[in-house]
Amino acid sequence: MNRRELLLSAAAFSVPAAMARDAGGEPAGKGKLRILILGGTGFIGPHFVREALARGHTVTLFNRGKRQEQPTPGVETLLGDRDGQLEALEGRDWDVVIDNSGYVPRHVRLTTQLLRERVRHYLFISTISVYADLSAPGTTEDAPLKKLADPTVEKVDGETYGGLKALCEGVVLEDFADRNTIVRPTYIVGPGDHTDRFTYWPWRVSQGGEMLAPGTAADPIQYIDVRDLARFVIGCVEVPTPGTFNACTPPGFATMGGLLEASRRVSGATTQFRWVDEATLRAEGLLDGPALPIWSPPTGESAGSALVSPARAVGAGLRFTALEDTVRATLEWHRSRPAEQRDKLKVGLSREAETALLAKLR
């Protein structure tokens, strides 16, 4: 057994395969809820809204009104800003809050203190980036969290993001003790994902030709389909489910090779994959930027970042859409985007850079 197989076996033991691959079974609604979503107009918010409405709940959004040109039919929108402009929330009460726009603890504190006496349950969308150490497989919700050298910092960037989210979690735990749910997703993917981190791979495969593929086909990847996340989140508020949950596919559910092969099947392309080892990728400077999204080296400080354990969430009802269905839905959505977004992705290798590197490697 090589290192990669050892990592997979060590991390996968905690999630029964049958549960991990069951995409159905979302819980039935337990009565109509009044749900307040802080945010709701970016990538994941609209999926939460659709799932809640489909289950018969009433939805109110609170945001700055900058991302959505037309209001969602049947959804109330309150305008304001989490940085102190909360007047629209005053004097109102809801059954549940879903907070998917909290990045700075001071902003989260303003809403938790305003709403803690008038809301039954608070669900906060966090991230697996809160963990201090992702070098080992099988990270659970009880692992140590990141701590910022300066906990008063409010600039959100790659260095502070995880630590700030950990502090935000602490605010929710303090102000909604025993009445909170913390959900820690990994890469959120699927239709509507404007980061292009997952989209790059099926779209590039669909273009055909020779393609650079990182590492080996057996390298694990981890993600969560946004539709599965939405079903899990709404299920957790229908039947209040306190606790903290990693939201990610189980270790071994998907590999880099599986993603590329699924993309080839779905797109009907005849793309040929040229697998390039980690040492070469590092020498070419491709491990330090956005050229190879989703994939991470199976060694070093991020070796366990694709092997996080979602066992607790699976026990609470999280189910997973088949990788091929996620690829298909993502491609269909991406093909409907404006040409300037469809043809120039935010991440991934440009065709020129990829062609030049493949020629060099020959």
pLDDT, tens digit, 9 for 90 and up, residues 300-344: 888 899 999 999 999 999 999 999 999 999 999 999 999 999 999
3-state secondary structure 31-68: CCCEEEEECCCCCHHHHHHHHHHHCCCEEEEEECCCCC
Say which residue, 133 or 301, is predicted with more confidence: 133
pLDDT value at residue 20 = 44
- pLDDT band of residue 69 (cuts 50, 70, 90) is low
Average of per-residue pLDDT across 83-104: 96
Secondary structure class of 351 (helix, strand, coil): helix
Which tens digit of pLDDT belongs to each residue from 134-189? 999 999 999 999 999 999 999 999 999 999 999 999 999 999 999 999 999 999 99
Residue 254 reports pLDDT greater than 60 = yes
Rounded mean pLDDT, 275-288: 94
Alpha carbon distances (Å) from 54 to 25, 28, 191, 229, 304: 15, 11, 18, 15, 36
Question: Which residues, at least 6 apart from 91, have a Cβ–Cβ distance to it below 8 Å?
Answer: none
Q: Is the pLDDT of residue 350 over 90?
A: yes
Provide the percentage of residues in the chain whose pLDDT is more than 70. 90
Give me the pLDDT at residue 25, please: 38
pTM: 0.92
Q: How is residue 159 annotated by DSSP?
A: T
Q: Are 123 and 96 in contact (CB under 8 A)?
A: yes
Distance of alpha carbon 248 from alpha carbon 320, whole angstroms? 9
Q: Per-residue pLDDT for 108 more than 50? A: yes
* 69 Cβ neighbours under 8 A, 6+ residues apart: none
At 73, the pLDDT band (50, 70, 90 cuts) reads confident
The predicted model gives 8-31 an average pLDDT of 46
Q: Which domains does the chain have, with CATH numbers?
A: 3-361 (3.40.50.720)
Quick: pLDDT tens for 2-15: 444 544 544 444 45
